[in-house]
């Protein structure tokens, strides 16, 4: 497994090894002892699957508040996405900053996003399937986030307001300036 630190400490890109032959390939996409050896210690309790039929489907930017805050390990099984993590930890030197990574079935990379970040993605192809593990179950009461295209974030989305396929819920999320963050930065990367 390859590990790459992204521009905000704690957000990491993982690329599992693929073993290929004439049948296709095999890959351990998650191996707890190997992840721990890399210094990553999360207890995942739920796994989610998201399918988006259309290119430029935007999901996010979502964040669950404590005590249901979620760290996520995200991987694309079919298609491709531009995946985004935005730091929402009050007092963080990276507050309001984002990191982006292209995840695809071809590059086989995963992004690890700690709690305290908003997460979202935009599909780059039709028929995109995303699987992600989370460290807390879904809680509608603790569900929230920030507006995907808030100009203050400066995210270079591949979709525009005219082309993005969004849920009504995601259209109504607040801008960062109007978001009362329940997360705080404790001086640690994660």
- DSSP letter for 79, please: S
Residue among 136, 154, 158 at smallest CA distance from 62: 136
| Percentage of the residues of the chain whose pLDDT score is greater than 90 | 97
Band (169; pLDDT cuts 50, 70, 90): very high
Average pLDDT, the chain: 96
Q: What is the pLDDT of residue 188?
A: 77
Question: Which of the residues 19, 30, 41, 62 is marked catalytic?
Answer: 62
H or E segment to which residue 120 belongs = strand 117-123
Question: Is there a catalytic annotation at residue 49?
Answer: no
Q: How far apart are CA 89 and CA 8, in angstroms?
A: 12
Q: What is the mean pLDDT of residues 99-128?
A: 98
Task: Decide if pLDDT at 17 tops 90.
Answer: yes
pLDDT (tens digit, 9 = 90+) per residue, 87-106? Answer: 999 999 999 999 999 999 99
pLDDT (tens digit, 9 = 90+) per residue, 36-77? Answer: 999 999 999 999 999 999 999 999 999 999 999 999 999 999
Q: How far apart are the first and last CA of the chain?
A: 20
Q: What is the pLDDT of residue 187?
A: 83
Q: How far apart are CA 80 and CA 64, in angstroms?
A: 24
What pTM does this model have? 0.95
Question: Which of the residues 19, 41, 49, 132 is marked catalytic?
Answer: 132
The encoded tokens of residue 65 equal: 């508040």
Question: Is there a catalytic annotation at residue 62?
Answer: yes
Band (190; pLDDT cuts 50, 70, 90): low
């Amino acid at each position: 497994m390859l590990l790459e630190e992204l521009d905000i400490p704690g957000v990491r890109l993982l690329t599992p090894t693929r073993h290929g032959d004439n049948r296709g390939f095999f890959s351990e996409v998650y191996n707890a002892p190997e992840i721990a050896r890399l210094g990553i210690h999360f207890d995942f309790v739920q796994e989610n699957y998201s399918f988006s039929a259309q290119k430029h489907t935007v999901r996010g930017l979502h964040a669950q508040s404590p005590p249901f805050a979620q760290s996520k390990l995200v991987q694309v099984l079919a298609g491709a996405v531009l995946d985004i993590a935005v730091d929402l930890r009050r007092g963080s030197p990276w507050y309001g900053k984002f990191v982006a990574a292209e995840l695809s079935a071809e590059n086989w990379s995963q992004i690890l996003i700690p709690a305290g970040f908003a997460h979202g993605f935009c599909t780059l192809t039709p028929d995109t399937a995303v699987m992600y593990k989370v460290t807390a179950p879904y809680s509608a009461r603790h569900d929230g986030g920030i507006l995907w295209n808030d100009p203050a974030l400066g995210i270079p989305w591949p979709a525009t307001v005219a082309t993005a396929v969004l849920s009504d819920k995601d259209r109504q999320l607040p801008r960062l300036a109007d978001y009362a963050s329940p997360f705080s930065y404790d001086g640690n990367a994660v």
